[in-house]
Amino acid sequence: MNTEGDSETTFEEDSQPNDEVVPYSDDETEDELEDQVPVVEPEQNRVNREAEENQKPFRKGNRVGTWRPDCTWHVKANDRSFQEQPQFMNTKFLCIKESKYANNAIKTYKYNAFTFLPMNLFEQFKRAANFYFLILLILQAIPQITTLAWYTTLLPLLLVLGITAIKDLVDDVARHKMDNKINNRTCEVIKDGRFKIAKWKEIQVGDVIRLKKNDFIPADILLLSSSEPNSLCYVETAELDGETNLKFKMALESTHQHLQRENSLATFDGFIECEEPNNRLDKFTGTLFWRNTSFPLDADKILLRGCVIRNTDFCHGLVIFAGADTKIMKNSGKTRFKRTKIDYLMNYMVYTIFVVLILLSAGLAIGHAYWEAQVGNYSWYLYDGEDSTPSYRGFLNFWGYIIVLNTMVPISLYVSVEVIRLGQSYFINWDLQMYCPEKDTPAKARTTTLNEQLGQIHYIFSDKTGTLTQNIMTFKKCCINGQIYGDHRDASQHSHSKIEQVDFSWNAFADGKLAFYDHYLIEQIQSGKEPEVRQFFFLLAVCHTVMVDRLDGQLSYQAASPDEGALVSAARNFGFAFLARTQNTITVSELGTERTYHVLAILDFNSDRKRMSIIVRTPEGSIRLYCKGADTVIYERLHKMNPTKQETQDALDIFASETLRTLCLCYKEIGEKEFEEWNKKFMAASIASVNRDAALDKVYEDIEKDLILLGATAIEDKLQDGVPETISKLAKADIKIWVLTGDKKETAENIGFACELLTEDTTICYGEDINALLHARMENQRNRGGVYAKFIPPVHEPYFPSGGNRALIITGSRLNEILLEKKIKRSKILKLKFPRTEEERRMRTQSKRQLEAKKEQRQKNFVDLACECSAVICCRVTPKQKAMVVDLVKRYKKAITLAIGDGANDVNMIKTAHIGVGISGQEGMQAVMSSDYSFAQFRYLQRLLLVHGRWSYIRMCKFLRYFFYKNFAFTLVHFWYSFFNGYSAQTAYEDWFITLYNVLYSSLPVLLMGLLDQDVSDKLSLRFPGLYVVGQRDLLFNYRRFFVSLLHGILTSMILFFIPLGAYLQTVGQDGEAPSDYQSFAVTIASALIMTVNFQIGLDTSYWTFVNAFSIFGSIALYFGIMFDFHSAGIHVLFPSAFQFTGTASNALRQPYIWLTIILTVAVCLLPVVAIRFLSMTIWPSESDKIQKHRKRLKAEEQWQRRQNVFRRGASSRRSAYAFSHQRGYADLISSGRSIRKKRAPLDTIVADGSAEYRRTAES
């Protein structure tokens, strides 16, 4: 039985985490780990399982197999009927069944022609406000309780539902078009024994398909054969991981040999048993049963949907997962419905208004019951023929007031918000300053519901490759024999600030893409005065695993990493061009002379070695080892007598200060006898049956020593334009930036310095450093815990001393250790036995709760510590870890988050954050398709947040405050009027005025303010990022602001009612008649209300345009025009029951003192507001008020200047990133000859096991 002490250590790691590797598969979620089948299972379970297996055997190819719990997905080639068998059918609804195998059609739309109307109406009536007004409409159809005509609610409700439905329809039509574009792509599928053109949506599991060069892969398929040697297939995975370098896949030998022709593919009847669909991009487990033989399948034989076929004329594959079951779709994460912080706040405020409405209606209903008992029952002239009790009349009046006061809950609020958001989205789309002409890519707001949240961001989580950087490596500088090359200088070694770039026209193999300005290096190469210079570039030309191809007579390189490709291309431009390679030779053009070298061994790169070497025999017969790698490993293996060691180290420090990625280059002469002895050890290690990689690494160590240092290369991982400026301005806006990347720690740290997220003044903490801090904090919290712990208020204790600039750099494996995540937990869970007694079950549950509480506290502590740092860089993290980090900050800091990335590995993070931004570029469109906003360059993020986000937030807050104010001012007049009409639910306005108030008379000015208003210009918004903090602190819209608007509306309604009431008491007109009738009184209040609310929005407007002015005065004019029409005799003749205020407007408004009453009412409403605004701006001005006051003086824009780093020799303590791939290169393919184009050999000449051999000796 597991003890409590054991349970607390269940999460502990048995070994130190490896910072160089991605820690674990993305699909190993906590739930899955807990749901693993235990080693020891109850006896009854075992009996039931064995009985079920005995009853349900199934056939695989020509053999009967037993069910395996980990491989339950079965595919039969060229047999669509196989998937329709009963055991593969799932019940969808009642008796309707469908196959568990998804078809290949992608569906992202929500509606079709038949479901749009019912589903859309159902979704809209799920909104509390819409459903509320539907109930109101029903109540207004009951004549006993209504005092308002039914059309006063129906027309606004239809308008709201119609506008929302049109918007949803437009969005869904766009989704239909995108789905159809993808689903109607074509490829070749075997049908009726022949390859025929078919659409992607017609592909099914089990189909055999043919793909050609540059085709997108339509589904997850098993590679059967290709046009390349040994059925290699090169794929570009930019859609998946944002990396543009090619990766290779290879078919099984048997399928490679027998499945090349169309007829053999048509008769292929293989059976596949594999894992269920999942999101593990790098793992696949399965077995192919064919020709009475089983063949193991792994990820190296699977082509994933979303990848592109490159450098392969054609290939054939068997569809295993289709459509929604493909890994790219599974890996996209759950689509979350995102709502803004203001949305939630707005809903709570609407609920508050509901409560106020019910309380007011109940109070007025009680007042009516009391009035009926005291006055109504004794007033014969009020008898209406109904002998109802006062309490019953009060009950009816409760519903009557619910109808009359319904405009307190603004029906047009939600649709107005949607219209404003839509307009703001178009402004983002139309912003030419966020348009990238190089890629012809504008900014795109892919959602219209999150704009104001762009003005409230606290944390930004960014990918690195392709997001901060261009993913383009450029050779910038080098150090050869202690001399640095790469500065601006002429052939005489004189430096110049302005000099033309080097002309490589003398080199026939130069590609013309390298921009280099040091003419002295060219002089050194051509003169040959220093043989080390030529040796340096020769090493770059031979020590690599790059593949070469010729396209239209031009050399084309395909490298395992962009760094390696940049180095080989640089050697090519400097006169040492890699031309061709065979299994055991490599051909290089050395300054125009072609020479071929025998390759004796390739010692490939991996993340532990951090270096690669090649051993070649020169045409003269001598043997040399050439090596390149990270300075940390190269310097340990250098010969003691290296005269340029210190000079090269100084150069490395300089390169590091310039954030360049470096490699050290060295060589070694090897004697014939020494090589033969080493070769024997190498051969023995190559055929080792266990721990082969470890044995090879040990043998490599024996030869890679006593090396002679040649120099170092410096490559620039080029940042996107404007990245440092953007990060600087976002930091001034109090936005913290975290970088989450799958790259190595050194690379991520270097990019942090390059983009100025880190500086020389930054104190960097690493994962191993903070582990002790977190452990100590956990111990302190445990010691403070106890019976009274929950009564003690939490105390915030900082982890670091105040002051200083700190940053955290942590790897994925270290992150797992700190957050008590995964991996080792699996092995320990498997050892647990089933609880047999109630006591054991109780203790198991208690132990599990303690583990969860410990894990939650540890995660909270980590978030608190990380948030004390000005910057955080998480490297070697998986897509799921990226999403986990975002979720932790959301959960424990309650902060608004934004995630930005460019690849499919960023999709989960983008969907988890409050706002997701996709970079559209060369790395694919998966991130963009899942994002809320997209653009082409990271630098546009500052304009999206500091300009559009801030403006949208300010506009929405002003809109909501004003909207609530104008509805309170309008509706509460009924409340004051009720004290003078016996609480009878009589309205204070004409019915048509109530109908059109929110639709026509007061809608346009507030909409335009929500669309166009701005406190300061876009240039000043960017110049003063500190203005952004008002959104982060929720200063412009909160419950305090809401109650201020409520109070303002109450006071305005009192003035609107009581001043006209006082003016109408005991008055006589010019004609001797008293105009103080109900209808004239209603017109007076309505006229004063329209003028007040429209002039009030004029006071709230910061940015005046002709459109704003026209809307305000136009709304007032529209009101008077419609009112005179509705009060005319002609319309009364046509519709006598609907228009009863005949002649009221013309009779009332011809009285001068009524106009004076209206003017006095408007003045009393607005003058206090003007006075308060003036005092506020004079005594307590905000930052935007100050900038507005001095905006003319601030017109001269201050240009941001990049910080100049002053290099101090020997002062830098950091290492530059080493420029290598994250995984092994193509050495195994090169050495085995599987990648070399040649006449196909018989099967017995091909290496059977497909393992990596690292050497081929020279043929004598």
Tell me the two tokens of residue 1184: 């935007």
Say yes or no to pLDDT of 361 above 90. yes
| Structure tokens, 284 | 């696949």
- Are the beta carbons of 445 and 724 closer than 8 angstroms? no
- From 59-68, 904-913, 1019-1028, the region with the lowest mean pLDDT: 59-68
Say if CB 566 and CB 474 are below 8 A apart: yes
Average pLDDT value for the chain: 81
**pLDDT tens digit string along 1093-1137?**
999 999 999 888 899 999 999 999 999 999 998 888 777 777 777
Residue 945 confidence class, pLDDT cut points 50, 70, 90: very high
Q: At what angle do helices 341-374 and 950-978 cross, to 10 degrees?
A: 0
Active-site residue set: 463
d(CA 532, CA 538): 10
3-state SS class at 317:
strand
- The per-residue pLDDT for 173 is 87
User: Do 719 and 567 form a contact (C-beta atoms < 8 A)?
Assistant: no
Q: Which residue has the tokens 């064995």?
A: 50
pLDDT value of residue 1042: 93
- CA-angle at 661, arms to 660 and 667, nearest 5°: 125
With cut-offs at 50, 70 and 90, classify the pLDDT of residue 457.
Answer: very high
How far apart are the C-alpha atoms of 683 and 833, rounded to whole Å? 47
Q: Which residues contact 627 (CB under 8 A, 6 or more apart)?
A: 543, 603, 611, 612, 613, 634, 637, 665, 666, 667, 668, 704, 707
When pLDDT is averaged across residues 946-964 and rounded to a whole number, the result is: 94
Three-class secondary structure of residue 483 per DSSP: strand
- More confident of the two residues 647 and 717: 647
- State the burial class of residue 4 (Cβ atoms within 10 Å of its Cβ: 0-12, 13-18, 19+): exposed
The whole-number average pLDDT for the span 776-800 is 67
Reported as half-sphere exposure (CB side, CA atoms, 13 A), residue 65 has a value of 19
- Cβ proximity of 399 and 145 under 8 Å: yes
pTM: 0.78
pLDDT at 554: 84
Tell me: the pLDDT tens digits for 379-422?
666 666 566 788 888 888 898 888 888 888 777 787 788 889 98
At residue 989, does pLDDT exceed 50?
Answer: yes
Out of 358-362, 873-877, 1186-1190, the most confident range is 358-362
What pLDDT is attached to residue 453?
A: 94
DSSP state of 447: -
CB under 8 Å to 1212, separation ≥6 — which residues? 653, 656, 657, 760
Give the tens place of pLDDT for each residue, 1143-1186. Answer: 788 878 888 888 999 999 999 999 999 999 899 888 888 888 88
Cβ-based burial of 1133 (10 A; exposed 0-12, middle 13-18, buried ≥19): exposed
Percent of the chain with pLDDT over 70: 83
Listed ranges 682-691, 729-738, 762-771, 978-987; the one with the highest mean pLDDT: 729-738
Among candidate residues 613, 307, 589, the one with its CA nearest the CA of residue 1225: 613
Give the pLDDT band of residue 638 (cuts 50, 70, 90).
very high
Structure tokens at 992: 């048509």
CA distances from 1227 to 544, 584, 1010 (A): 8, 11, 61
Q: Is the pLDDT of residue 306 over 50?
A: yes
Rounded-to-integer distance, Cα 294 and Cα 1210, Å: 61
pLDDT at res. 686: 79
Position 1231 scores a pLDDT of 66
Give the tokens for residue 129. 């406000």
How much is the average pLDDT of 1002-1018? 91
Higher pLDDT, 401 or 1071: 401
What is the model's pLDDT at position 1065?
Answer: 78
1246 band by pLDDT with thresholds 50, 70 and 90: very low
Of residues 170, 740, 127, the one with CA closest to residue 410? 127
Please return the burial class of 640, using the count of CB atoms within 10 Å of its CB with bins 0-12, 13-18 and 19+: exposed
Q: What is the pLDDT of residues 538-578, one digit of tens each?
A: 999 999 988 888 877 788 888 877 888 899 999 999 999 99
Length of the chain: 1260
Does pLDDT of 1211 surpass 80?
no
pLDDT in tens, 166-193: 878 887 888 888 888 889 999 999 988 8
- Report the sign of the C-alpha dihedral through residues 990, 996, 998, 1001, in that order: negative
Q: What is the pLDDT of residue 785?
A: 64
pLDDT higher than threshold 50 for residue 796 = yes
Q: Which of 238-247, 1022-1031, 1177-1186 has the lowest mean pLDDT?
A: 238-247
Alpha helices per DSSP H over 375-500: 390-404, 413-429
808 pLDDT more than 80: yes
More reliable by pLDDT, 110 or 213? 213
